[in-house]
Amino acid sequence: MTTLLAVEGLTKSFGGIRALDECSFEIAEGSVGALIGPNGSGKTTAFNVITGFQPADAGRLTFRGRAVRHPDPCRLQRLGLARTFQQARIFAGLTVLENVVLGRNQSWRALLGRRVSGSDRRRAEDLLDEFGLAAHADRPAGRLSYGQRKLLEFASVLMADPILVLLDEPAAGINPIMVKTMEDHIRRRHAQGVTFIIVEHEMKFVMRLCDPVIVLDRGRRIACAAPEIVQNDPRVLDAYLGD
Amino acid sequence: MDAGLELRGIVAGYGQGDILRGLDLDVPAGQITCLIGPNGSGKSTVLRVISGLLAPRSGQVLLGGQRVTGRPPRAMLDLGVAHVPQERSLFPAMSVWDNVLMGAYISRDRDAVARRATEIASRFPLVAQRRHELAGSLSGGEQKTVEIARTMMLDPPVLCFDEPSAGLEPRARKTVFGILADLSGDGRTILLVEQNARSGLAIAHRGAVLDAGIVRLAAPAAELLDSPDIGRLYLGASLRSRERTSDEPRGTQRIRGPAPHRDLRL
């Protein structure tokens, strides 16, 4: 399979702490990969560096076969790479529909509550239908529950038709029914050709959904394999259980 | 007083969701019980329920066989239950000595407080050596030691520690675990929540594994250390060992399956 995203030798330090230490991995087009590891292993830093939210100290990033020398969130989004955050980042004062419209490139005018094109509106409404949020379309997004905000953020990033979506803890802090809903949405979009990388602590969710599972420990990749192999890898157990 | 803790059928959480879903846990008097489990399994919430920071929705907390469910933190402190939180809790702009004295803030007997502080300083040499320095200038491991010293000002028979080794380098971690083992030697009851499962179990008498708000395994710590089931729980695999009933006297126990989810709303 074609490699969609490759990182090589990614390094990022904060003061004296190496959050990423020459970390390398690849994600093939059409896969649902997971990035797991104990607290502080560098998962979110990896997302931040790949998506250009933080500059790397060293390393190379290749997306769709092209080297990305200075990752920039906006440019990467135009290239088809989108992400969500641990704490869903939504515009609480805008309506749910406006939030989704904003997910599309260059639609900043939606911030002013106007100039939302008819096609954008229809597409956003379709997404809200798909994510079960249609009834909330005209309500302020700040009134949504924690889990609904996560769904809204997911729907918003899909507005830009990404080919790779990085989800940061989509199942964290939401109830088990919502976790299943989230999983269904990921599976549906995956079936339509979207590739995913998921950072998640909810292991049952990861192990039934993702392959490969990439394991980080202290900023380094210590495993990359199918779930059942990772679950029995002594290095992974050592990373999780301590020494 | 028998300072053992028992938690029976605890359901607790924040907002609409339940974090603990019918949790049973025994913390025998005079022993270290180490509570481990994956991220988000509810470990810190257990401590908050015990110390009165979070009232459970149902279930009972028993201290020495007496019901203390839902008592506020001050009442629990009066009963001798102290809670050392995970995050750094010293007052950084105050001296080490003043921080230690703050541990007896609720006591009005100044002479007794001064005497106790002197005892604490002899037990924790760091406090005596660095007494005039600002607490915020100490390293993470030193700050944790001062936090523990401060907690000891009221001589609590029951101590709840939330990940005391978090963020500490290996040597500092060893020091902190040494202090906990030492406190246990006084006959205190200690409930230790720990992410570094192996280090925590190594100093504990008993261990319990929390997963999704219930205790899945409870056993002597040494047995848990050798159990392949712990790793499987951390990594989302199903358990290999046969299910045992809780009245079996020894060995690894699988206490009960998941409680039904109560909160079906989005």
Residue A149 domain-assigned (yes or no): no
Looking at the DSSP assignment, which residues form a beta bridge with residue A199? A35, A168
A229 inside 8 A of chain B by CB: no
Of A203, A207, A230, the CB nearest to B38: A203
Q: For every one of its 266 residues, what pLDDT tens digit does chain B have, with 9 covering 90 and above?
A: 578 999 999 999 988 788 999 999 999 999 999 999 988 889 999 999 999 999 999 999 999 999 999 999 999 999 999 999 998 899 999 999 999 999 999 888 989 999 999 999 999 999 999 999 999 999 999 999 999 999 999 999 999 999 999 888 888 889 999 999 999 999 999 999 998 899 999 999 999 999 989 999 999 999 999 998 898 888 888 766 544 433 333 444 433 333 333 333 33
Among chain B residues, CA nearest to A175:
B17
Interface test with B, best of A146, A150, A206, A237 (most B CBs within 10 A): A237
pLDDT of residue B15: 81
Residue A58 domain-assigned (yes or no): yes
> Does the distance separating the beta carbons of A148 and B266 come in below 8 Å?
yes
Among chain A residues, CA nearest to B239:
A231
Residue A60 domain-assigned (yes or no): yes
Residue A238 and residue A124: Cα distance in Å, rounded? 45
Query: What's the DSSP call for residue A64?
Result: T
Beta-sheet pairing, A17-28 with A3-14: antiparallel
Residue A70 domain-assigned (yes or no): yes
Contact by Cβ (8 Å): A158, A104: no
Q: Which residue has the higher pLDDT, B63 or A1?
A: B63
List strands edge to edge, sheet with A32-36: A81-83, A164-168, A195-199, A32-36, A213-217, A220-225
Residue A197 and residue A204: Cα distance in Å, rounded? 16
Q: A75: which residues sit within 8 A by CB, 6+ positions away?
A: A52
How far does A97 lie from chain B, in Å, by closest CA? Answer: 19
pLDDT at A185 exceeding the cut of 60? yes
Please list every residue in chain B whose beta carbon sits closer than 8 Å to the beta carbon of residue A178.
266
pLDDT of residue A130: 94
3-state SS class at B137: helix
pLDDT of residue B256: 38
pLDDT-derived band at A7 (thresholds 50, 70, 90) equals very high
Q: Give the largest CA-CA distance in chain A.
A: 58
Q: Taking a contact as any Cβ pair under 8 Å apart, which residues of chain A between 137 and 156 contact chain B? A: 145-148
pLDDT of residue B241: 53
How many C-beta neighbours within 10 Å does residue B3 have? 20
Of A40, A206, A241, the CB nearest to B197: A241
How many C-beta neighbours within 10 Å does residue A240 have? 26
Please list every residue in chain A whose beta carbon sits closer than 8 Å to the beta carbon of residue B197.
240-242
Mean pLDDT lowest among A24-33, A35-44, A113-122, A126-135:
A113-122
pLDDT of residue B2: 72
If one counts the domains in chain A, the total is 1
pLDDT of residue A173: 80
How many C-beta neighbours within 10 Å does residue A12 have? 22
Please report the ipTM that was assigned to this predicted complex. Answer: 0.75
CA angle A72, A78, A81 (to 5 degrees): 75
pLDDT-derived band at A175 (thresholds 50, 70, 90) equals confident
Q: Which residue has the higher pLDDT, B112 or A106?
A: B112
Tokens encoding A100 = 């989704």
The single residue listed with the structure tokens 């079936």 is: A191
Task: For chain A, give the mean pLDDT.
Answer: 92
Residue A134 domain-assigned (yes or no): no
Mean pLDDT lowest among A104-118, A214-228, B186-200:
A104-118
Residue A139 domain-assigned (yes or no): no
How many C-beta neighbours within 10 Å does residue A193 have? 9
Q: B147: which residues sit within 8 A by CB, 6+ positions away?
A: B84, B88, B89, B90
**B5-88+156-254: which CATH topology?**
Rossmann fold (3.40.50)
Contact by Cβ (8 Å): B233, B218: no
Tokens encoding B180 = 């906990």
pLDDT of residue A115: 59
How many C-beta neighbours within 10 Å does residue A224 have? 18
Here the CATH number for the domain that contains residue A9 is 3.40.50.300
Q: What does residue B83 show for φ and ψ, rounded to 5 degrees? A: -130, 120
Task: Read off the pLDDT of each residue in A96-105 and give the average, rounded to a whole number.
Answer: 86
pLDDT of residue B240: 62
Q: Which residue has the higher pLDDT, A157 or B228?
A: A157
pLDDT at A144 exceeding the cut of 50? yes
pLDDT of residue B264: 32
Task: For chain B, give every domain's residue range.
Answer: 5-88+156-254
Looking at the DSSP assignment, which residues form a beta bridge with residue A196? A32, A165
Task: Read off the pLDDT of each residue in A180-197 and give the average, rounded to a whole number.
Answer: 96
3-state SS class at A97: helix
Tokens encoding A167 = 């989800």
pLDDT of residue A50: 97
Helix H segments across chain A? 43-50, 73-79, 96-102, 118-130, 146-158, 176-191, 203-209, 227-231, 234-241
Residue A164 and residue A78: Cα distance in Å, rounded? 11
pLDDT of residue B168: 85
Interface test with A, best of B173, B235, B265 (most A CBs within 10 A): B235
Task: Read off the pLDDT of each residue in A41-54 and give the average, rounded to a whole number.
Answer: 95
User: What domain range is A64 assigned to?
Assistant: 3-86+163-178+189-241
Over residues A227-243, the pLDDT tens digits come to 999 999 999 999 998 87
Residue A132 domain-assigned (yes or no): no
Residue B9 and residue A124: Cα distance in Å, rounded? 45
Whole-structure pTM value? 0.81
Over residues B12-45, the pLDDT tens digits come to 998 878 899 999 999 999 999 999 998 888 999 9
Residue A130 domain-assigned (yes or no): no
Mean pLDDT lowest among A102-106, A123-127, B37-41, B238-242:
B238-242
Contact by Cβ (8 Å): A164, A196: yes
